[in-house]
Amino acid sequence: MHLPNYKEAKKREKMPYQTVDYQLNSSLKNKYQGKTYFLKTYGCQMNEHDSENIKAMLLELGFLEVESYEVADLILLNTCSIRENAHNKAFGMLGRVKHLKETRPNLIVGMCGCMAQEEGVVDEIRKKYQWLNFVFGTHNLYDFPNILDKAVEEKKQTIEVYSCDLDIVENTPVVRDRTYKAYVNIIYGCNKFCTYCIVPYTRGSERSRKREDVLKEIKDLMDSGYQEVTLLGQNVNAYGKDLYEDYGLGELLGDIAKMKVPRIRFVTSHPWDFTDRMIEVIGKYPNIMPSIHLPVQSGANCILKKMGRRYTKESYLELFDKLKKVRPGIAISTDIIVGFPGESEEDFKDTLDLVKYCKYDNAFTFIYSPRENTPAAKFLDNVSLTVKEERLYQLNEVVNQYFLENNKKLVGKYEKVLVEGRSPKKKDMYFGYTESNKLVNFTGDHISVGTIVEVKITDAKTWSLDGEFYG
């Protein structure tokens, strides 16, 4: 048994990482043929992509996916720790699963992902969720088949969570959710330690994949007809710093752009590490999509300082302006936290002012949620929940107004859209995303999923556009 340990998780040692290849223990191949699984994924794109790896490992073991957890032989929750409500959702699901387990004792239940890396969560599981069969963390995802099998064979709770990052594992199998757009990890972990954030403890230190491994994965995706790749990392701007002297995200983006990948995206960029080289490359290659997620968190310098964000409102705006200038029509989205400990009315007003300047195309807004073991959890929090809720409401009113305003500017224009399928709400329409990452529902006939088409925009809503197929 290995339990998570925050002291270990905090260590950032300069160690060269080994790159090793994934290998399935051959005795496990198809061992579970005829069994079914239900996998529930919470959290960010990184978790979604991890789940694509988990699905492929389950397939190797012989499992088939089912849509309802009530009929599955195995239920696995891939969890997120970022805010309290992510926690509550996962524990709520465990509550529902417990009832099933009472009537079906052979049901296997497991938990993985970021919550598995939390000391407090694992303590609680050991005390109150003895019936949970296995837990594994983000650092030993590749070992999932062995952990599952051990839990089944030994018939006792199996907890295998490593606090430190181990090797980088290449060639983990993957079953992608889509056949036309794909996630590609370029860097794992985070070294930024923003004072509110749990990610550096749940995902370990920054480790880049070798450029040849990234480029090979993208080449294979292109050979299979993929139209879009999204490069993933908690802070993609730090790509390469741990491996190379003079090869970073700017160079990597340039190399991928030259491979003629139709659409390239990347998330998430921390404003602090955003280099001029990256800006130049974004300006140079039209297949790098004009849509950047640039989380600001707050518009008040004193709050940014307490958050440990390493930039000021002024330097953020300077970067923002450079991006707007280098690619006319570029869409910029953001993340904002309200109600950080000590946030005054004046500080909140600074955030509103910044939003009014940036007129974001999209924004994810959150009430600050204290996280176990993070520095901010110990800060004096004198802002009441009612005030925090009021600020979130006010902020949402303002950001929504700009989403609509920006969308309206596109009415009458022709936009390139990557077609994703029939619109879930309006079955007679298709849906897809523009280059600037805006959702479009549009009319048309016999349009192939995964193609890039031209759509005339006919109407604008706050969170989507309407259009008609043009060509």
SS3 content of the chain, % helix, strand, coil (to 5): 40, 20, 40
Distance, CA of 232 to CA of 27 (rounded, Å): 33
- 51, 81, 185, 333: residue in contact with ligand F3S (rule CB under 6 A): 81
- 39, 115, 125, 197: residue in contact with ligand SAH (rule CB under 6 A): 197
What is the token pair recorded at 270?
């921390």
Q: Interaction with ligand SF4 in 204-263: which residues (CB under 6 A)?
A: 234-235
Identify which range of 6-14, 57-65, 77-85, 162-170 contacts ligand F3S by CB under 6 A. 77-85
Site map for ligand F3S, 96-115, x if CB under 6 A?
-----------------xx-
Distance, CA of 433 to CA of 178 (rounded, Å): 14
User: Per rule CB under 6 A, is residue 369 in the interface with ligand SAH?
Assistant: yes
DSSP reduced 3-state for 326 = helix
Q: Interaction with ligand SAH in 413-452: which residues (CB under 6 A)?
A: none
What is the size of the binding site for ligand SAH (CB under 6 A)? Answer: 16
The CA-atom distances, in angstroms, between 99 and each of 96, 175, 396, 450 are: 6, 31, 38, 41
Identify which range of 78-86, 251-259, 265-273, 299-307 contacts ligand F3S by CB under 6 A. 78-86
Q: What is the DSSP code (8-state) at residue 447?
A: P
What is the token pair recorded at 186?
């370029």
Site map for ligand SF4, 256-275, x if CB under 6 A?
--------------x-----
Distance, CA of 419 to CA of 423 (rounded, Å): 10
Q: Where are the extended beta strands (E) located within 95-178? A: 108-113, 134-136, 158-160, 168-170
Handedness of CA 280, 266, 176, 59 (dihedral sign): positive
Among ligand F3S, ligand SF4, ligand SAH, none, what does residue 193 contact (CB within 5–8 Å per kind)?
ligand SF4
Nearer to ligand SAH, 366 or 431 (CB): 366
- 79, 202, 237, 297: residue in contact with ligand SAH (rule CB under 6 A): 297
User: Per rule CB under 6 A, is residue 295 in the interface with ligand SAH?
Assistant: yes
Nearest to 152 by CA among 299, 37, 52, 68: 37
Site map for ligand SF4, 164-203, x if CB under 6 A?
--------------------------x-xxx--x-xx---
Interface ranges with ligand SAH (CB under 6 A): 82-83, 196-197, 234-235, 268, 270, 295, 297, 335, 337, 366, 368-369, 371
